[in-house]
Structure 1
Amino acid sequence: MNQFSPQGITDETLVAAGTALAAEAARFAGLGWMRGTSGNLSVTLERDPLLLAVTGSGLDKGELTAADFVVVDRDGERVEGRGGSGHRPSAEAGLHARIARITGAGAVVHVHALPAVVAAHHWPDGVVLRDLEMLKGLGHLAHDETVVIPVVQNSQDMTELGDAFESRYLPATADVAEVPVVLVAKHGMYAWGADLKQARWHAELIEWMLRFAIETRELETR
């Protein structure tokens, strides 16, 4: 565990981050996207060095307090010295940090919305979306543009999972337009944005479009 030496991170900053994480976790739990103790959320506290506040592991996400978070570094390792209530970070904190590093995200949400799991099962090479008004919420055209939501295979090794994400995201190698989400097969989705509100919007929009894709597939195959 690393020692925490923040530059410009105040107690007020940490309280605000914890409060926001608890509120968003309660919202997602209410949607049924963070059942039991599943899922995790993060906000970026600082860029250099990269520090994130991540919801603590093993906690009911519908009952978090402003102190139920852990500060982690660029590798998802807990840093000591300030913030949180002694919780341990999820192993998935490493992927949160990787996404924040690669995309510049200010927040990452990992939820277990069922449509994300079902869609990844049906379309393991990526979910093709086109001609949907909701695409505008992801920064794409509502018509005449094809967007592919990337899918990666699940792994308990966050370095391996992060490598898979990065290979699909980087413009030099990706076969998809940039989208603020990745689906993890038989697991769930990671969505991100400039802050928690935008990350939530992206998750909500994508969940709706995935449900549309699944339901229209079922109609077409009857």
Structure 2
Amino acid sequence: MATALAEAAREIVQVGQFLSLRNFVPATSGNFSRRLDARHAAVTRSGVDKGELTEADILALDILAPPPPGSSAETHLHLHLYRDRPHVQAVLHTHSMVSALLSQLRQAERELRLTGYELLKALGDNRTHETTISIPIFPNDQDIPRLAARVSEDLAKRPDTVAYLIAGHGLYTWGRSMAEARRHTVALEHLLTYELETMKVRR
């Protein structure tokens, strides 16, 4: 367990620096996690600038138990993904300007439909731009366990989904490795920007 935690902590610290440089996690926002084994995961401590993470800021947790002291309240959202999707190895939550704005503007639609973009090929096992990918949008809720249950119920009907948005809040995405989760994050941040710019042009 100690070796797995040290390896996961290194990956989380590196991704924190990578995403912070792109301003995807301003101030102390966002949280990241990485599966350790079938029963355990590692998650970032609450209240830390993600560009300044150290390995001491990474906490181990039991995915079947309540989040440990010091972890974000939003850890529940990570735990549901690990419980519901055994293939998920990493979860990244960002608070970029575009994810907050676009999710707020489109929350009445309850989803964001992305069509025709070449960058859709970066998501999951998709291999063509000639498709439409739906990203669900959930209303923000300070009752995180209730929000996590709602997200879990909805995602059960969307087995191929690799991300969702919380309105006015940010993006959650995941992958079968930290590298895939990071790829999904970068691709989706660009795709969200395309959609926001398109809305400006159409106005």
What TM-score, normalized to structure 2? 0.91
Structure 1 match to 2:118: 133
SS in 2 for 1:163: helix
Contact 2:26/2:96 (8 A) holds in 1? no
Query: Which runs of no fewer than 5 residues in structure 1 stay unpaired?
Result: 1-8, 79-86
Are the aligned partners of 2:119 and 2:129 in contact in 1 as well (CA < 8 Å)? no
Match of 2:7 among 3, 16, 29: 16
> What does residue range 42-121 of structure 1 map to in structure 2 within 5 Å?
42-47=33-38, 50-74=39-63, 75-78=65-68, 88-104=70-86, 105-121=88-104
Shift of 1:67: 2.0
The residue type equivalent to 2:148 in the other structure is G
Is the partner of 2:56 in helix, strand or coil? coil
1:168 is the counterpart of 2:136: no
Q: One-letter code of the match for 1:192?
A: W
- Give me the whole-angstrom Cα distance separating, in 1, the residues matched to 2:98 and 2:150: 21
Write the deviation string for residues 138-172 of structure 1: whole angstroms up to 9, x where unpaired: 1335343221111001112222111221232112x
Give, as a single letter, the amino acid of the residue that structure 1 aligns with 2:104.
H
Structure 2 stretches lacking a partner, 5+ long: none
Asked if the contact 1:106/1:193 (under 8 Å) is kept, the reply is yes
When Rg is computed on C-alpha atoms for both structures, the one with the higher figure is 1
Shift in Å, 1:179: 2.0
Higher relative contact order by CA 8 Å / sep ≥ 6: 1 or 2? 2
SS at match of 2:33: strand
One-letter code of the match for 1:129? L
Contact 1:15–1:67 (8 Å) recurs in 2: no
The answer for the alignment partner of 1:149 in structure 2 is 135
Cα 1:65–1:143, aligned 2, differ >3 Å: closer, same or farther? closer
Question: Percent identity between the aligned chains?
Answer: 30
Amino acid aligned to 2:119: M
Q: What is aligned with 1:220?
A: 202
Aligned-pair CA distance for 1:13: 1.6
Q: How many residues align structurally?
A: 198
Which letter does structure 2 place at the counterpart of 1:61? K
Deviations 1:23-51 (A, max 9, x none): 1111111111111111110001121xx21
Aligned counterparts of 1:111 and 1:148: Cα–Cα separation in 2? 18
CA–CA distance in structure 2, aligned partners of residues 96 and 136 of structure 1:
25
Corresponding position: 1:26 with 2:9: no
Equivalents in 2 of 1:199, 1:24: separation in Å? 10
Change (3 A) 1:94 1:133: same
**Counterparts of 2:51 and 2:190 in 1: how far apart (Å)?**
22
Distance 1:23 1:99 in 2: 22
Two-structure CA RMSD over aligned residues (Å): 1.6
- Aligned positions of 1:175-190 closer than 5 A: 178-190=160-172
Deviation at 1:186, TM superposition (A): 1.0
Q: Tell me how far apart the structure 1 counterparts of residues 91 and 66 of structure 2 sit (CA, whole Å).
A: 13
- Return the alpha-carbon distance in structure 2 between the equivalents of residues 76 and 186 of structure 1: 26
CA distance in 1, matches of 2:137, 2:151: 8
